[in-house]
Amino acid sequence: MRGIIAYGAYVPWWRIERAAIGAAHGGSAGRGTRAVASYDEDTTSMGVEAARRALRTLGDAGRELPETLVFATTAPSYADKTNATTV
């Protein structure tokens, strides 16, 4: 058993000003910006991109691809079907 041989992460490109968040909620949300998903992004599509990045690091290093790929989220896109098979 090898354990974790690679990981990938993805942060959406779009940003929203924290001041806009605070204004919408009637309070202060701090300074700066926050990453937000685009209209066509969800946890599944972001998981796919993170997986691509993880596999790319293995390929660039000349290492063999894994037999298993694990996908986990606290906010699944679909409540009635598995997201992991889509990834």
51: which residues sit within 8 A by CB, 6+ positions away?
A: 8, 69, 71, 87
- Give the pLDDT of residue 35: 92
Average pLDDT, the chain: 83
Whether pTM exceeds 0.85: no
Q: Is the pLDDT of residue 1 over 60?
A: no
**Structural domain span for residue 9:** 1-87
DSSP class of residue 30? Answer: -
The tally of domains found in the chain comes to 1
Q: Is the pLDDT of residue 15 over 90?
A: yes
The band of 70, judged by pLDDT with boundaries at 50, 70 and 90, is: confident
Strand 33-35 and strand 15-17: pairing? antiparallel
